[in-house]
A and B are shown apart, each in its own frame.
Chain A
Amino acid sequence: MNLSFKSISIFLLIGLSLAIFSCQQGSNGGALKNSTAEKVFVAPGEHDEFYAFISGGFSGQLAVYGLPSGRLFKVIPVFSVDAEKAWGFNEETKPMLQTSHGFIPWGDSHHPDISQTNGELDGRWVFINENNTPRIARISLETFETDEIIEIPNSAGNHSSSFVTENTEYVVAGTRFSVPVPQRDMPIAEYKGNFKGALSFIKVDPEHGHMNIEFQILMPGFDYDLSHPGRGKSHGWFFFTTYNTEEASTLMEVNASQNDKDFIAAINWKKAEEYMKAGKFKTMPANYAHNVYDEATHSATTTWKKEVRVLDPAELPGLVYFMPTPKSPHGCDVDPSGEYIVGSGKLAAALTVHSFTKMEKAIADKNFEGEAYGIPVLSFDATLAGTVEQPGLGPLHTEFDGKGNAYTTFFISSEVVKWKLGTWEVIDRKPTYYSVGHLMIPGGNSRKPFGKYVVAMNKITKDRYLPTGPEVTQSAQLYDISGEKMELLLDFPTVGEPHYAAGIAADLIKPRSKKFYRLADNNHPYATKSQDETRVERKGKDVHVYMTMIRSHFAPDNIEGIKVGDRVYFHVTNLEQDYDVPHGISMIGANTSELLIMPGQTETFVWEPKQVGVWPFYCTDFCSALHQEMQGYVRVSPKNSKIKLSWSLDGE
């Protein structure tokens, strides 16, 4: 079926009006029934059943919600600076946002995925990709803080990531945009045949989670859109959707939509490991940042990596196969058994499902219909498991409930459609409000989904909430999928664009969540572990303040002898050893953010006083009955002043 661009926009109009129409029906019906409200009610003091980690899209962060309540618990700073938590503002975390392009204060976070052991979620880490400046982050689920960010060389628009294999052997980072590799000055018109798409396989250290780019596969210059790992029988394979197999570079919406079929690239990463072992790789010069946050020093360091090992699929038989898939496929989703690979042709009228068993047979039989850049293209009919006919308009993403059902989102017709694996029949459909992108079933990317709820993440909310000017909130919607028919339970606003999410049973994380950092384990080079050690030291123009905080005072609390033009480093240690007792500190005129320091932690900010005077600092986090009294002063004297450095403790 060949849809022109024009007919798509007509679909879009029809789709939107249909959705609004059905919305009016919906709001008269189920969503407000008492029984529905009860299903999402989590009584005061009680805990939600699931954690949902919902990416912030263009906010660059990752937000933590409870399900079924939809309550927001925390926004974890990842790729964007966060003044609230001093992420990217304090001296300790500045290296986390370091890249080969310098310090970057913003990112575009897309697909979170939770680590797995034996194909089941283990609740240790969340990985998430940054699209704009290709990076992958690892977030600890003990501290809910970003522990590591690795930049991806030879890539641009790191979209088809970050999904993990079933023992977290690898996290992948597939480039969305193909680019010259290595980057160079060349005419864009010569894109075709010259640009390359790098698919990066990042090895994860099983104990500490540390990431290392093990190898890249240099693919033809298509756009690599989304990916999912094989599992069970297809463990050892990774599947990537492609679009723009036309290799167009202008007016993409038309020129990249010409081919009737694009590809799903099936990568045999076990084979890649064999080729790596056999030395069949090329080592390329590169320059990328590897940023690691150390929980003992409470500080991050950047290491510069200077090379990357690449594999060329044209020269390495058996490494990559293409499966033709109609039409500009977006989502690429593998069912819990690992047998079915769903390719959502976003411009296609039907959903295409490939069979892994058939794929293996087609490879064995050399059932090829051609090749592209030396990579065999398997015959379409040979891998096809079935199609879901007339499911909706604009299929995007599919998740699975572990009971043989699949749930696919349709962007244009704004709905979630439930269908059956194997029979390909549509069982149920429910509207979303509006323009749904991804959906998430907790444990969706694993062998064992928790098939109780599905969360749909919408791009547009229009009339669903109180208006807030031209920009209204984005939203997620929660459906009960425990029965034959889906039931919309709740819609809740989200931070940023809720791009994709990962969910997990709360019991797998809750007991391991850290309550405070042990002061005895604090190895920060500027830590002050007791009030007796507090002091102020001058080294030329640099002044180091070794400060402690505890309910409800700073030590020292008055400092004199600072001069205009000094660089004053406040190294502040929170001496508390109690759960949920952070303190903050801010300094008038500091060109940075406050610090928000967790119990047992040390953080540093720099203040360069420019004006003579006596300037206050204070605690910014309401910490105790005497929080307002938690304050102090710094006296700033002229450049040539003879006033000696001095400080006071506890009014002495």
Chain B
Amino acid sequence: MKKSKILMIIGSLLLLTLFVLPLWNITLDAPQYPDSLGIDIYITKMQGAHEGDIQNINIMNHYVGMEKLPEKMKEFELFPIVVIVMALLGVIIGFIGKRKLFLAWFVAMAILGSIGMYDFYLWEYKYGHNLDPKAAIQFPGQAYQPPLIGSKTILNFKAHSYPMSGGYMLFAGMFLSLGAFFVAGKEEEKEN
């Protein structure tokens, strides 16, 4: 089998690691939490970085009137379907081996990824701004939105938001599909 095809198939299959590896992580650092508080975001769920973290983040956030972290989200139903479809599509494209389809798959992934990031931003915005007007502690004008990517100080916490292993696998998969596109170009040149 051609090298480009193999790259494309492997790249697509890498998406499936998202079913076991976390896509993203938000970590909260404060002096009285020497082990940090953290949320690992999977395509199907949110999970505490340590046992009890979700509850402890909720307890901490309730002072300023934030909502509890959601257990159910429509994204957790939708994302797995998108990932399976794209992985399957990628494998089929890989077998077909058409160079332009490789690129098309990459572009589709990039668009879907951007939509995902935008959706994540919207959720963060709502999570950080939707405050109970009766909250015990209120700082006028203060929002608690975590950074989309990077680090930011929120009151006594330093919040860090970065991709995790699953996220890196996703990028690697996309990178491989792009690689498949260029390799396929070289392969075509040789054949001609």
Q: Does B107 contact A (CB under 8 A)?
A: no
Say yes or no: A551-B59 contact (C-beta < 8 A), given A625-B137, A626-B136: yes
Partner of B52 from the list A551, A578, A624, A629 (CB cut-off 8 Å) is A578
Q: Chain B contacts of A626 at CB under 8 A?
A: 63, 136
Q: A577 on the interface (CB 8 Å rule)?
A: yes
Residues in B neighbouring A191, C-beta threshold 8 A: none
Nearest-Cβ distance from residue B140 to partner chain A, whole angstroms: 18
In the complex, A578 Cα to B37 Cα: how many Å? 10
Query: A579 contacts which chain B residues (CB < 8 A)?
Result: 35
Q: Is residue A516 within 8 Å, beta carbon to beta carbon, of the partner chain? A: yes
Establish whether residues A550 and B59, one from each chain, have CB atoms under 8 Å apart when the complex forms. Answer: yes
Q: Could you say which residues of chain B place their CB within 8 Å of the CB of A624?
A: 63
B51-A577 in contact (CB<8A): yes
Would you give the shortest CB distance from B167 to chain A, in whole angstroms? 27
Closest residue of A by beta carbon distance from B136: A626
Main secondary structure of the interface of A (DSSP, over half): loop
A581 CB → nearest B CB, Å: 8
Is there contact, CB below 8 Å, between A578 and B137?
no
User: In the assembled complex, how far is the CB of residue A580 from the closest CB belonging to chain B, in whole angstroms?
Assistant: 9
Most chain B CB atoms below 10 A, which of A575, A578, A624: A578
Contact with B along A483-523 (1 / 0, CB 8 A): 00000000000000000000000000000000010100000
Total CB contacts across the A-B interface at under 8 A: 24
B51: chain A residues at CB < 8 Å are 518, 577
Q: Contact at B136–A577, with CB atoms within 8 Å?
A: no
Chain B: minimal CB distance from A597 (Å): 16
- B52 to A625, Cβ gap below 8 A? no
B60-78 interface code vs A (CB 8 A; 1 in, 0 out):
0001000000000000000
B130, CB-defined interface residue at 8 Å: no
A576 to B54, CA, bound (A): 11
A577 touching B56 in the complex, CB below 8 Å, given contacts A625-B137, A626-B136: yes
**Chain A residues, Cβ within 8 Å of B136:** 625-626, 629
Question: How many residues on chain A are close to B (CB under 8 Å)?
Answer: 13
Rounded to whole Å, the gap between the CB of B132 and the closest CB of chain A is 12
Shortest Cβ distance from B34 into chain A, in angstroms?
A: 9
How far, in Å, is B39 (CB) from chain A's closest CB?
15
Q: Are B52 and A577 in contact (CB under 8 A)?
A: yes
**How far apart are the CA atoms of A555 and B55 in the complex, in Å?**
17
Q: Mark A539-569, 1 if CB is under 8 A from B, else 0.
A: 0000000000011000000000000000000
Bitwise interface map of B from 127 to 165 toward A, beta carbon under 8 Å scored 1, else 0? 000000000110000000000000000000000000000
Q: How far is the CA of A69 from the CA of B82 in the complex (A)?
A: 59
Interface centre among B55, B56, B59, B63 (most CB of A within 10 A): B59
**Measured between C-beta atoms, what is the minimum distance from B29 to chain A in Å?**
16
Closest CB of chain A to B122's CB: distance in Å?
Answer: 29
Cα–Cα, bound, A629→B56 (Å): 19
Contact of A625 among B35, B55, B56, B63 (CB under 8 A): B63
Closest to A577 in B: B52
B6 shortest CB reach to chain A, Å: 45
Which residue of A has the minimal Cβ distance to B59?
A551
B56 near A578 with CB under 8 A, answer yes
A578–B137 CA distance with the chains assembled, in angstroms = 22
Query: In the complex, are the beta carbons of B52 and A516 less than 8 A apart?
Result: yes
A458 to chain B, nearest CB (A): 36
Q: How far is the CA of A578 from the CA of B58 in the complex (A)?
A: 12
Measured CB to CB, the nearest residue on chain B to A550 is B59
A475 nearest CB across to chain B (Å): 32
Point out the residues of chain B lying under 8 angstroms from A551, CB to CB: 59
Q: Which residue of B lies closest to A599 (CB)?
A: B52
Within 8 A of B (CB), among A583-635: 624-626, 629
Chain B residue at smallest Cβ distance from A45: B34
Interface residues of B in 2-61 (CB under 8 A from A): 35, 51-52, 55-56, 59
Give bound CA distance, A576 to B55, whole Å. Answer: 8
Give every chain B residue within 8 A of A576 (Cβ-Cβ).
Answer: 52, 55, 59
CA A518 to CA B35, docked complex, whole Å = 18
Quick one: closest A residue to B62, CB to CB? A551
Question: Which residues of B have CB within 8 Å of A578?
Answer: 52, 55-56, 59
Give the distance in Å from the alpha carbon of A578 to the alpha carbon of B30 in the complex: 15
Taking beta carbons and an 8 Å cutoff, which residues of A are in contact with B?
516, 518, 550-551, 575-579, 624-626, 629
Q: Could you show 17 A-B contacts with beta carbons less than 8 Å apart?
A: A518-B51, A550-B59, A551-B59, A575-B55, A576-B52, A576-B55, A577-B51, A577-B52, A577-B55, A577-B56, A578-B52, A578-B55, A625-B63, A625-B136, A625-B137, A626-B63, A629-B136
Known: A578-B52, A578-B55, A624-B63. 15 other contacts (CB 8 A): A516-B52, A550-B59, A551-B59, A576-B52, A576-B55, A577-B51, A577-B52, A577-B55, A578-B56, A578-B59, A625-B63, A625-B136, A625-B137, A626-B136, A629-B136
